[in-house]
Amino acid sequence: DGGITQSPKYLFRKEGQNVTLSCEQNLNHDAMYWYRQDPGQGLRLIYYSQIVNDFQKGDIAEGYSVSREKKESFPLTVTSAQKNPTAFYLCASISGQINQPQHFGDGTRLSIL
Amino acid sequence: GQNIDQPTEMTATEGAIVQINCTYQTSGFNGLFWYQQHAGEAPTFLSYNVLDGLEEKGRFSSFLSRSKGYSYLLLKELQMKDSASYLCAVRAGSFVGYALNFGKGTSLLVTP
């Protein structure tokens, strides 16, 4: 079955540490996105990528970095510069058609130790 | 930029009908989406509107008025499992790769 796989489901970060969240899709989708969700809040866009080797900042990119070396993969690194990383992180993708909904992975919950 | 507003919380009774409203202001419009999100889970797609009018899908219907910047999600024959957060999202233009801009969500509680 096609879908989006995020790992790990839970992640703990020590102060000063960088951590990487994995997002893999086998839907052959071109565009991929990373969102952050805080309690009682909507989803906020961190980064997005429309094609391989290209990505753009979203509304809250500071303290995060991404790469898009393969079509299937869009990992997100939460750097030590992100002072408030505790949140639920969601990866999404769409095909090239703008009338299609975004498909979401199951999310990664990141907490500070 | 975009601004999306929806009520924070709503309560309804099992078997009843509930309408969740969403208003938006956007500089580029490529469709409005409704998602359902249970606590701790990813959002799941419910409906899509790009033209004015009502879209019906089983117990769920969604309405759009582009001139008013207004949409609603109608849930009929409410079930306990419908207790969840409902997210209204507007698709931005190509300048942000058609990303979705989400409202803060409406937490719906269905009571017996």
Percent of all residues in chain B with a pLDDT value above 70, rounded to a whole number? 94
Closest listed residue to residue A104, CA positions, set B96, B99, B8: B99
Contact residues, chain B, for A104 at CB < 8 Å: 42-44
Residue A60 has pLDDT above 70, yes or no: yes
Q: Do A44 and B102 touch (CB under 8 A)?
A: yes
Mean pLDDT of B79-95: 89
State the number of CA atoms in the 13 A half-sphere of A30 facing the CB: 11
Q: Name beta bridge partners: B13.
A: B111
Q: String of b and e for A17-32 (b: at least 16 CB within 10 Å)?
A: eebebebbbeeebbbb
Asked if the peptide bond before residue A85 counts as cis, ω within 30 degrees of 0, the response is no
Residue B1 has pLDDT above 80, yes or no: no
Contact residues, chain B, for A98 at CB < 8 Å: 30-31, 91, 98
The secondary structure of residue B105, as a DSSP letter, is -
Residues contacting A84, CB < 8 A, separation 6+: none
Interface with chain A: mutation pick from B100, B101, B104, B106, highest number of A CBs within 10 Å:
B100
Contact residues, chain A, for B32 at CB < 8 Å: none
